[in-house]
Amino acid sequence: MNSIKNIFQTKNSQVLSIYFTAGFPNLEDTKSVIQELEKAGVDFIEVGLPYSDPLADGPTIQNSSQKALQNGINLDIVFEQLMTIKNTNKTPLVLMGYLNQMLKYGEDKFCQKVVDCGIDTLILPDLPMVEYENHYKQLFEKYGIKNVFLITPQTTDDRIKKIDDFSESFIYMVASSSITGAKGEISQQQIDYFQRIKSMNLKSKLVIGFGISDSSTFSKACEYANGAIIGSAFINFIEENGVDKIGQFINKIRK
């Protein structure tokens, strides 16, 4: 069974995922961040692949991606870092990157590296549905990889139902029609959107991201979904406080 789907077999609510950028704050921190997040008890970890043109990401994640690239990170190094913890890490990992990264690296080579690292779930925000249907669905099935689709407040019901049919891990609910980043409190407009999706009674599990930043927004998001992903707030925290304080951040979210 897919590692992320397996989580939802045993835990149906309050699922906490943390996003971080590989190679940030320092080149060799990838392994340490994952280890500290595992010790803190997060449910799954989203590892961001640094990219020079991250269209879906806000200033905080863009900045972390740029710093990681300046640190010398590249896909080969990320895969090498992930391989070093493959046999010890028990917290499922999801890779988040962009289609062009996979194309430049080589589709089959990329997928094989993902599997070699013990990862079976990808998030590619810029992967068009038609391309997935015509090519990538078959490619990912060849390697046993599950693709996570994103929906936004503007996604039509018909498209959401189609995504639901294709999803085998979870659906990533983008909390607002904007880039990533901490936004403060969840608005009524966002709640209306969450309620609309919840009322559709989809078969897939729902995880909310973009703008989830603290205990309050995490709890509110979990009223309408199975869990939530925190990214920018976490990246800001480790940049300001260091990797060794990660447990404090997670404890505050789960208080």
Q: Is residue 81 part of a domain?
A: yes
* pLDDT score at 181: 43
Catalytic residue among 46, 53, 164, 165: 46
Q: Is residue 5 part of a domain?
A: no
Q: Please give the Cα distance from 38 to 166 (Å, whole number).
A: 29
Strand residue runs (E) in 37-137: 44-48, 93-96, 121-123
Q: Please give the Cα distance from 166 to 24 (Å, whole number).
A: 33
Confirm whether 53 is a catalytic residue: no
* pLDDT score at 184: 62
Catalytic residue among 29, 36, 43, 57: 57
The model's confidence at residue 177, banded by pLDDT at 50, 70 and 90, is low
The whole-number average pLDDT for the span 143-172 is 96
Q: Is residue 3 part of a domain?
A: no
Mutual angle of helices 215-222 and 246-253, in 10-degree steps: 50
Q: Is residue 195 part of a domain?
A: yes
Number of domains in the chain: 1
Residue 207: strand pairing partners: 172, 227
Q: What percent of the chain has pLDDT over 90?
A: 87
**Alpha carbon 92 to chain centroid, angstroms:** 11
Q: Would you say residue 69 has pLDDT above 90?
A: yes
Q: Is residue 209 part of a domain?
A: yes
User: On the CB side of 105, how many CA atoms lie within 13 Å of its CA?
Assistant: 22
DSSP-derived 3-state class of residue 8: helix
| List of residues 6+ apart from 205 with CB closer than 8 A | 5, 8, 12, 15, 169, 170, 171, 226, 227
Q: Would you say residue 141 has pLDDT above 50?
A: yes
| List of residues 6+ apart from 74 with CB closer than 8 A | none
The whole-number average pLDDT for the span 190-194 is 93
Structural domain of 95:
13-253
CATH of the domain at 44: 3.20.20.70
* pLDDT score at 57: 64
Q: Please give the Cα distance from 84 to 93 (Å, whole number).
A: 14
Q: Are 144 and 120 in contact (CB under 8 A)?
A: yes
Residue 20: strand pairing partners: 47
The model's confidence at residue 154, banded by pLDDT at 50, 70 and 90, is very high
Q: Is residue 181 part of a domain?
A: yes
Which pair of tokens denotes residue 45?
């970890």
Give the angle 213-218-223 at the CA atoms, nearest 5°. Answer: 150
Residue 33's closest CA among 225, 241, 192? 241
Q: Is residue 2 part of a domain?
A: no
Q: Are 23 and 51 in contact (CB under 8 A)?
A: no
Confirm whether 46 is a catalytic residue: yes
Q: Are 253 and 221 in contact (CB under 8 A)?
A: no
User: On the CB side of 183, how many CA atoms lie within 13 Å of its CA?
Assistant: 18
Residue 22's closest CA among 49, 42, 43, 4? 49
Higher pLDDT, 61 or 93: 93
* pLDDT score at 243: 97
